[in-house]
Amino acid sequence: MDRRKSIKSIILGSVAGGLAVNGCKPGTEEALVETTVKVDENHFGRTPSEKELIAELNAKTFFNPHELETIEVLCDLILPATTSIGGAVEAEVTDFIEFMLKDIPEYQPILRGGLMWLDHKSNTDFGSEFKSSMETQQKEILDTIAFPDIEVPQNQRPLEIQFFSLMRNLTLTGYYTSKIGIEDIGYKGNTPNVWDGVPEDVLEQHGVSYDEEWIAKCIDQSKRSDIAKWDENGNLLT
């Protein structure tokens, strides 16, 4: 997809919408062209040494296949797909966790140790590894580690509880920073637009309103492309 074009059309769309409200001003269309942005999806601004580090981390393998399969089962239990949107597995959170464990090695002992604990517990209670136990059995184990006592500081909780909290954190952050997760949370930004205040229905829902005196000082977006000029006292003339 040519992202340059699509963003340009979004800008045109959103400003055109704004114009309908503010009244049409001559000269605004030229300004729209100037706000056209370019985004090259092949880069995300890495320096040569940062690229090398990523390549190095990608070349290493941390988890073995059994561990990865167990993580995938956990991801699915923590954030399953719904009827309308994919879950952690569809968002490829397992790959993300593999990368993060290499990027932040401090996580390694707790996560790896926790996985061993899970299999030990599952073998002891049900005679099978965690990943092959029945879902009800898996949940029975998770119920014992998924609800920390919040009065106890995090680093003083039993390892298996710390393990599950970390696993849940990585799963959720991996999910909500993925394409699917961003759609699920409903984040609407990261795209050129013209900010003109909080929508009326939102103000109403939260019981706040704009102060008229304050708003009168704010930018009139229909004049954003008129070059700023001031009188000698600093009063804006345009």
**Residues in 57-116 that interact with other proteins by CB under 8 A:** 57-58, 77-80, 82, 96, 99-100, 103-104
Task: Name the DSSP letter for residue 230.
Answer: B
Among 23, 127, 153, 199, binds other proteins (CB under 8 A): 199
Q: In terms of Cα–Cα distance, which of 167, 175, 170, 112 is closest to 145?
A: 167
Classify residue 215 as exposed, middle or buried by CB count within 10 Å of its CB (0-12, 13-18, 19+). Answer: exposed
Least distance between other proteins and beta carbon 199 (Å): 6
Say if residues 77 and 96 touch (Cβ distance below 8 Å): no
Q: What gap in Å lies between CA 110 and CA 30, rounded to an integer?
A: 57
Least distance between other proteins and beta carbon 50 (Å): 6
Least distance between other proteins and beta carbon 151 (Å): 10
- For residue 99, what are its two tokens? 């990368």
Choose the stretch contacting other proteins; rule: CB under 8 A; options: 45-53, 65-73, 112-120, 121-129.
Answer: 45-53
By CB under 8 A, how many residues form the interface with other proteins? Answer: 90
Least distance between other proteins and beta carbon 94 (Å): 13
Q: Which is nearer to other proteins, 127 or 154 (CB)?
A: 154
- For residue 203, what are its two tokens? 């103000």
Residues in region 116-155 near other proteins by CB under 8 A = 142, 146-148, 150
Q: Can residue 195 be called a binding residue for other proteins (CB under 8 A)?
A: yes
Least distance between other proteins and beta carbon 142 (Å): 6
Q: Can residue 40 be called a binding residue for other proteins (CB under 8 A)?
A: yes
Say if residues 173 and 100 touch (Cβ distance below 8 Å): no
Cβ neighbours for 164, distance < 8 A, ≥ 6 positions apart: 114, 142, 145, 146
